[in-house]
Amino acid sequence: MNALTSATPRATYELRFPCRSGERSGLSFPCDVQGRVDMDELGDRARNDYLFARTVIGRDFLAPEVICRQ
């Protein structure tokens, strides 16, 4: 690894599921630039929330979006 690579901050991404209603907040999970979530890295609750959010897209949550966090 060269000095330029190690000194450059790595961008992180999150997959955000916006809530359809204002009654509750949306959910977000760490992901790669393509929006893939490594479920093995999630804790039990986060994994369950992620699977739930995917299941109820269109009912409780809007389609997810990838957000760059620096």
Q: Kindly state whether residue 1 falls inside one of the protein's structural domains.
A: no
- What residue numbers bound the domain in which 39 lies? 10-69
The CA-based angle 51-34-50, given to 5 degrees, is 10
Residue 61 DSSP class: B
Q: Kindly state whether residue 31 falls inside one of the protein's structural domains.
A: yes
Q: Kindly state whether residue 33 falls inside one of the protein's structural domains.
A: yes
**Per-residue pLDDT reduced to its tens digit, 27-39:** 999 999 999 999 9
**Per-residue pLDDT reduced to its tens digit, 17-70:** 999 987 778 999 999 999 999 999 999 999 999 999 999 999 999 999 999 987
Q: Kindly state whether residue 50 falls inside one of the protein's structural domains.
A: yes
Domain count within the chain = 1
Q: Kindly state whether residue 49 falls inside one of the protein's structural domains.
A: yes
Residue 41 DSSP class: G
Q: Kindly state whether residue 3 falls inside one of the protein's structural domains.
A: no
Secondary structure of residue 47 in the 3-state scheme: helix
